[in-house]
């Protein structure tokens, strides 16, 4: 069990993206709930469930080492007493890469559960964002 305690879902989210930038596998897994019902979907990837599959996927991603910077944009958060859902745009910046060759933005949904040991991630689902979706919406929000 991880000794880290995240008092809020936002604290867990901050730790998730810090671990992602540093390619810190132990830091990444400290954010995740220690449960076999966790789910992770990387952009254009398959659905991974359980601690072993999620850990293995991050280990493969982190094998190249740190380098990418991650900027989070347009966070939308829905929070309750026990569950929080964050929808964000992830923008990755790779060093030594021309601006026009940077990877496209990624839209991600992160779900956090309040546990006895603080807030923990239970779902991370990321997909390439359509180019027009990254522009800030100006009209009214419509629920459907």
In CATH terms, the fold of domain 9-130 is: Nuclear Transport Factor 2; Chain: A, (3.10.450)
Is the CB of residue 15 less than 8 Å from the CB of residue 119? Answer: no
Sequence ranges of the domains in the chain? 9-130
DSSP 130: P
Condensed to tens digits (0 to 9), the pLDDT of residues 5-45 reads 999 999 999 999 999 999 999 999 999 999 899 999 999 89
In this predicted structure, the answer to whether residue 95 has a pLDDT above a threshold of 80 is no
DSSP 7: S
Q: Model-level pTM?
A: 0.83
Condensed to tens digits (0 to 9), the pLDDT of residues 33-85 reads 998 999 999 998 999 999 999 999 999 999 987 777 888 888 889 989 999 99
């Amino acid at each position: 069990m991880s000794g880290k305690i995240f008092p809020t879902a936002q604290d867990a989210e901050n730790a998730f993206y810090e671990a992602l930038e540093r390619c810190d596998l132990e830091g990444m897994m400290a954010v995740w709930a220690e449960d076999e019902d966790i789910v992770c979907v990387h952009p254009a990837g398959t659905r991974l469930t359980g601690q072993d599959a999620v850990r293995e996927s991050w280990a493969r991603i982190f094998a190249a080492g740190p380098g990418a910077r991650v900027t989070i944009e347009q966070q939308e958060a829905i929070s309750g007493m026990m569950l929080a859902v964050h929808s964000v745009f992830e923008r990755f910046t790779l060093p030594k890469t021309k601006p026009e060759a940077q990877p496209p933005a990624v839209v991600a949904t992160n779900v956090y559960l309040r546990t006895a040991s603080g807030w923990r991630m239970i779902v991370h689902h990321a997909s390439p964002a359509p180019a027009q979706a990254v522009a800030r919406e100006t009209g009214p929000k419509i629920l459907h």
